[in-house]
Every structure is written in structure tokens, then in C-alpha cells.
Chains A and B, each alone.
Chain A
Amino acid sequence: MFNDKTAKFLLLAAIVICVGGAFAPNWIVNQFMFGFSRALAILGLMVLWRTGLVSFGHAFYFGLGAYAVAILDSEFGVSDVFLRLLAGAVVAGFAGFLIGFIMRNYRDIFFAMLNTAISMVLFGIVVKTESLGSTDGFAISMSTILGFAPETKYPMFVIIMLVGLTAALLVNFYLKTTFGKLTTAIRDNEIRVEYLGFSVAHAIHLKYTISTILAGGAGALMAMSLGQVDPESMINWTVSGELVFVTILAGPGNVIAPFIGSLVFEILRTYAFELAPQAWQLIMGATFLTIIFFLPGGIWSLIEKLGGKKNER
């Protein structure tokens, strides 16, 4: 699991970032926390994207994860970071596993649209339900870590990095297994995969469930980093669009890509918003179009080119 270049790089990068984070100014710590929280969801979408599947509704799972944290907090007073993360990932993953039975038979725009529909159902419920916070959402209390309440953001920062590292290593490992390697094979030719004796439906179901667990975890981490949840920025279809945006921006080449992509997105958004508050979507949209047209492999393909393709996939 640790003996390929990607895994070694990930371990090294995690150490460097964790040490660097102790000395970094607050705003950089924030960028990394938001960026790497979101990266978890991007990691899952990347697994789907490798199969050629794009979900315009993963905000459903992102939102489930975030709201699981919020409800645990407001109803049961659970503040432990690991319990919250676990709850978010389990709730979303379980929902994803069940919905996966249906989803695994869908491809292309039908897959995208069914995901949109389901996420908008949740949006519709949350927006109109007073006990779920309606359009205002909830504020979430500070997370505690195994019983002690941290004074600074740094411990939370380290936890997000470690969660990201673990997830990246696991997905990297998964992509090297036979089922993982089927990802691209299914995109290229489903019928041949079936002839090889594998069930495409099972493979897609597994990928879908993985992506929903990760999206749920991402939602939980994001809710804790932000300290609040609301439907407009957690469940609406534009959030799903944002997740897809970052996935394409990052590129499907390597499990490192989602982390770089999310960080670039976070920085791009912050600066675009500061430079031109009325035109930040324009900048994002134009970037997106540019990537689709000129850089189909995303930022990662750029890194590969610069590195002379030394990095393995």
C-alpha cells in the first residue's frame, strides 16, 4: 500500500503540510481546511469520472454528511470530531449504497439527472422544514477531539489532513485492485468487461458507494470547518455543479489531483471574489470552459507534462 510513488509522495506531503500548518498564518490554514474537506468529495467523484460517469447531484451526499453533523450536534450534543465524521460518512454511504441499486443501471445524462433529481428532493425537504433549519440552516458547535476542546484551529487542520491522507491512500490502493482497474475499462467498453466475466453493475455500485461515503465525509468535515450548515451552500444543485467543476479542474489522473484541484479552486475563488465580487462566477466559468477545451486531463495533466510523465498513474 505504501510502496508506490504516489503513496510516498502523499505521506511526505502530509508531513510537510502538517508541520507547515503550525507556522502558517490563519488564512492559509483556512484555505487548506476548506480545500481538503472538499477534496474528499472530489476524490469520490474522480472515481466515478474515470468511468465516464458525472453526477450532478452529489450535493445530496455532501449535504447528508453535513446535516448528520448538525443534527447530532443539536439533538444529541455530540461534539467529538471522529464521531461526527463517522456519522456523516456512514449516513451518506448507507444512502448511497441503497440508491446505488438503482443508480448502477444508469449512464450518461440519465445518471447525472437522476442524481440531480434526488438531491433536489432533499433540498426541497430541507428548505421547507422548520425543524431542519429551513433556509437558514444551523450553527454547529466547535468540535472536540477525544474529549478535549482545542484552543486553535490547528488540531482540526491536522485531522483533516490525516483523513485526506488516509482516504487518498485507500482510493489509490483501490484503483490498483482488479475492481479499481475496471474503472477505465468500463468507460471504454462495457460489453467487453462483461465478457471478461465481471459484473459492470457491481463495479459501478461499488464506485458509487465509495463516492457517496467520501462525499458524506467531506460534507461532515466542511460543516465542522465552517461551523454551520445551510441548504443553499450544501445541497442545492449549484453545489453539485461546483463539485463537478473541481473534479474536472483537478483531472482524473491521480489521487493527488483532487487535493491540488480543490486547493486551486479555493484560492481561485477567494481571489476572484476579492478582485471582482460581481464577476467571480464569470472567472470560474471561463476557467472551466478553458479546461474542458484545452486541458481535458485537468491540472494533473499539466503537472504530468511538467514532470516529463515521470509520475506513474
Chain B
Amino acid sequence: MLGGSVVEAALTILLDGLQFSSYLFIVSAGLTIIFGVMKILNVAHGSFYAWGAYTAAFFIGKFSDMGLPDALGFLIIVAAAIVVGIILGFIIEQGILKYMYERDEVLIVLATFGLFLVLEDIILIAFGTDPYFAYQPMALLDAVELGGITRDVYGLTLIGVAAIVAVGCWWLLNKTKWGTLLKAVIFDREMGISMGINVPLVYTLTFIGGAILGGLGGAYIAPTISVSPGLGTEVIVLSFAVVVVGGMGSIAGAAIGSLIIGILRAIAVHELPQVELFVVFAVMAIVLVFRPEGLFAPAKPRKI
């Protein structure tokens, strides 16, 4: 009997960890793509997440009030991510970041921090300070029993979504013409321009793509949490930790970083709750000290 409960506890930690990793991966993939291509460490990414969550929660609630079927919730989640990503991504890239590419890397980080502050408050103005609950999609999927423990199916689908995002990114980068162009730009921006690649367009699309992933992370997690102010503040430092651990600019790195941090955090939450936050950032600091480029950073071309 004792053995059984240990296995159950381990399974719970594993599933919690995987779920948390999946969610971290979806958000961090967007951050790392933007960094890889544009060399922008985007603090405003936390806002994309928060906007995704709010937009999805708001419309899921509205649709439910109107008596529409709850299954539409999944459509809303995807639509919210895409709409938020396109609108915010386009406005920010075209309106502000475009004029900063020649400036110092650190100044761009600061500018995105300014944007973060602005976007946080626009959320408050648009959606108010009261929390939103959009539990319908989660209630719809019910729960299953897995190896003796009950899990809600919605949380498990998160793992599937992360897998789709991972495979999608890999396919896009390695199997399409777009991916080849993107890799050329990452490798050498100036050479890319001289070869006739429309780099400004690549930048705009990359930023929008990254923003959509940030929004998707928020929109998909929205049904499982209470969507309330300050949502983006915690997420952004967590996803910084993920991309730093895995290696900034690498999708595989983001995946491995998410797994390490997600599972470590799940272990901490269940076994030693006092170190829950500490452990994430301790790992981040240790990786930065011993391997500043991250565990799986893409090899850098040497330039003269």
C-alpha cells in the first residue's frame, strides 16, 4: 500500500511538472524566437501573456452567458491568441521597436519594460480589476483516472498543445523555405539583407509569431486560473529563467529549460513548498554563472 502511494505521489509530481513545463514552454518559445531572430529580450512578453489570458477569459465568459456551447471556448482560446498577437505584435513592432534596432541592446530591453508598464495598465482600464473565471472549457473535458490518480483532462491537453507548438516550430524552421530564410537572418543579418531577404518583414512576422505564442500561453492557461491583475509580472521572470537555462534563442533550449524548471518546481511544490520560487531562480543563477550561454545555446558564428 505504501509503495502504491509513493508511485502515486511520483506520478502526480511528474504530471504536474509536465503540465507546468508545457505551459512554460508555450510562453517561452515566443520569447526565445523573438530573441533568436531580433536579439530583443522582450519584457513586454509578459503582457502578451496577460492579454491573451484576459481576452480569452472575457469572451469565454461572454459566450457562456449568451448560452452558446462551451466547446466554442477552444476556438476562442486560439482566436484570442492570434488576435492579441497580431494586434499587439504589429503595433509594438511597427510603432516602437522598428525605430530602435540601431540602438543598444540594453536600451531596447528598457523600452520593452516601458511598454510592459503601459500594457499592464491598459489591461486594467479595459478589463477592470475584478478577477475573471473562465472554467467552462475545463469543466467540459471533465477528469480521468490515470494510474490511480484523478487528473482533469484539460490540464493534460496542455501537454499536447506544447508538443504541437514544439513540432510546429521545428517543422517551420527545418522543413520550409521560411525557416531557411529565418535561419539565414539569425546567422548573419547583414548577409541576409544583401542576399535580398526582406529582413524588416521577417522581423515583423517573427515578432507577431512570438507574440501569438505568448498570447496562447495566457489564453490556454486562463480556464485553470483566476485571471487577475499582475498576471504578467510573475510569468515574465519565469520565462526569462527558462530561456536562460536552455539557452537564449534556441527552441530546443526552451523545451529543455521548461522541463527542468517545470519538474523542479513541481517537486518543490509537493515536497518542500518553502523553496518553490527560490529553486527556479537559483537554477537560473547557477546556469548563468557556469554556462552563461545556457545549457543548449545554438552555436554562434565567429565574426571578425
Interface residues of A (CB under 8 A from B): 52, 54, 56, 102, 106, 108-110, 112-114, 116-118, 120-121, 123-125, 127-129, 236-238, 241, 244-245, 248, 278-282, 284-286, 288-289, 292-293
Q: Which residues of B contact A112 (CB under 8 A)?
A: 41, 106, 109
- Name the one of A113, A114, A288 contacting B113, with C-beta atoms under 8 angstroms: A288
Q: Is the interface of B mostly helix, strand, loop or mixed?
A: helix
- Name the one of A118, A125, A244, A284 contacting B285, with C-beta atoms under 8 angstroms: A118
Are the C-beta atoms of B117 and A281 separated by less than 8 Å?
yes
Q: Apart from A123-B277, A282-B118, what 6 extra A-B contacts exist at CB < 8 Å? A: A114-B289, A120-B281, A124-B280, A129-B274, A286-B114, A289-B115
Q: What are 19 A-B pairs at a CB distance below 8 A?
A: A54-B106, A54-B110, A108-B106, A109-B41, A109-B105, A112-B106, A113-B41, A116-B240, A121-B285, A128-B275, A241-B113, A244-B113, A281-B118, A285-B115, A285-B120, A286-B118, A289-B96, A292-B107, A293-B99
Q: Is the interface of A mostly helix, strand, loop or mixed?
A: helix
Q: Which residues of A contact B292 (CB under 8 A)?
A: 106, 110, 114
Are the C-beta atoms of A288 and B109 separated by less than 8 Å?
no
Are the C-beta atoms of B114 and A113 separated by less than 8 Å?
no
Are the C-beta atoms of B273 and A128 separated by less than 8 Å?
yes
Q: Which residues of A contact B124 (CB under 8 A)?
A: 278-279
Q: Smallest CB–CB gap between B31 and chain A, Å?
A: 12
Look across to chain B and name the residue whose beta carbon is closest to the beta carbon of A106: B292
Q: Which residues of B contact A121 (CB under 8 A)?
A: 278, 281-282, 285
Question: With A and B bound together, what is the CA distance between A288 and B241 in angstroms?
Answer: 25
Contact bitstring B104-145, A, C-beta under 8 A = 1, else 0: 111101110111111111101100010000000000000000
How many chain B residues have a CB neighbour from A under 8 Å? 43
Are the C-beta atoms of A116 and B237 separated by less than 8 Å?
yes
Q: Given the interface contacts A124-B275, A124-B278, A128-B275, does A292 sit within 8 Å of B122 by beta carbon?
A: no
Look across to chain B and name the residue whose beta carbon is closest to the beta carbon of A241: B113
Tally of A-B Cβ pairs under 8 angstroms: 121
Q: Which residues of A contact B111 (CB under 8 A)?
A: 289, 292
Contact bitstring B221-251, A, C-beta under 8 A = 1, else 0: 0000000000001000100110010000000
The 10 nearest A-B residue pairs measured at CB? A285-B117, A124-B277, A124-B278, A282-B121, A285-B118, A288-B114, A120-B281, A117-B285, A117-B284, A289-B114
Interface residues of B (CB under 8 A from A): 41, 96, 99, 104-107, 109-111, 113-122, 124-125, 129, 233, 237, 240-241, 244, 273-282, 284-285, 288-289, 292
Look across to chain A and name the residue whose beta carbon is closest to the beta carbon of B129: A278
Q: Smallest CB–CB gap between A162 and chain B, Å?
A: 32
Look across to chain A and name the residue whose beta carbon is closest to the beta carbon of B44: A285
Look across to chain A and name the residue whose beta carbon is closest to the beta carbon of B104: A52
Question: With A and B bound together, what is the CA distance between A292 and B276 in angstroms?
Answer: 36
Q: Which residues of A contact B117 (CB under 8 A)?
A: 281-282, 284-285, 288
Are the C-beta atoms of A288 and B110 separated by less than 8 Å?
yes
Are the C-beta atoms of B244 and A113 separated by less than 8 Å?
yes
Look across to chain A and name the residue whose beta carbon is closest to the beta carbon of B292: A110
Are the C-beta atoms of B105 and A108 separated by less than 8 Å?
yes
Q: Smallest CB–CB gap between B109 and chain A, Å?
A: 6
Q: Which residues of B contact A113 (CB under 8 A)?
A: 41, 240, 244, 284, 288
Question: With A and B bound together, what is the CA distance between A123 and B241 in angstroms?
Answer: 14
Q: Which residues of B contact A293 (CB under 8 A)?
A: 99
Question: With A and B bound together, what is the CA distance between A238 and B117 in angstroms?
Answer: 10
Q: Which residues of A contact B109 (CB under 8 A)?
A: 54, 56, 109, 112
Q: Which residues of A contact B104 (CB under 8 A)?
A: 52
Q: Smallest CB–CB gap between B231 and chain A, Å?
A: 13
Q: Smallest CB–CB gap between B34 and chain A, Å?
A: 13
Q: Smallest CB–CB gap between A96 and chain B, Å?
A: 15
Question: With A and B bound together, what is the CA distance between A127 and B280 in angstroms?
Answer: 14
Question: With A and B bound together, what is the CA distance between A25 and B244 in angstroms?
Answer: 49
Question: With A and B bound together, what is the CA distance between A234 and B235 in angstroms?
Answer: 19
- Name the one of A56, A102, A116, A292 contacting B114, with C-beta atoms under 8 angstroms: A292
Question: With A and B bound together, what is the CA distance between A116 and B109 in angstroms?
Answer: 13
Q: Which residues of A contact B278 (CB under 8 A)?
A: 121, 124-125, 128
Q: Smallest CB–CB gap between B88 and chain A, Å?
A: 14
Q: Which residues of A contact B120 (CB under 8 A)?
A: 281-282, 285
Question: With A and B bound together, what is the CA distance between A12 and B105 in angstroms?
Answer: 39
Question: With A and B bound together, what is the CA distance between A214 and B268 in angstroms?
Answer: 35
Q: Which residues of A contact B289 (CB under 8 A)?
A: 102, 114
Q: Which residues of B contact A102 (CB under 8 A)?
A: 289
- Name the one of A120, A278, A282, A292 contacting B110, with C-beta atoms under 8 angstroms: A292
Q: Which of A124, A237, A245 has the most CB of B within 10 A?
A: A124
- Name the one of B121, B233, B237, B273 contacting A285, with C-beta atoms under 8 angstroms: B121
Q: Smallest CB–CB gap between A194 and chain B, Å?
A: 19
Q: Smallest CB–CB gap between A240 and chain B, Å?
A: 10
Are the C-beta atoms of B277 and A289 separated by less than 8 Å?
no
Look across to chain B and name the residue whose beta carbon is closest to the beta carbon of A279: B121
Question: With A and B bound together, what is the CA distance between A244 and B241 in angstroms?
Answer: 20
Are the C-beta atoms of B237 and A280 separated by less than 8 Å?
no
Are the C-beta atoms of A289 and B118 separated by less than 8 Å?
yes
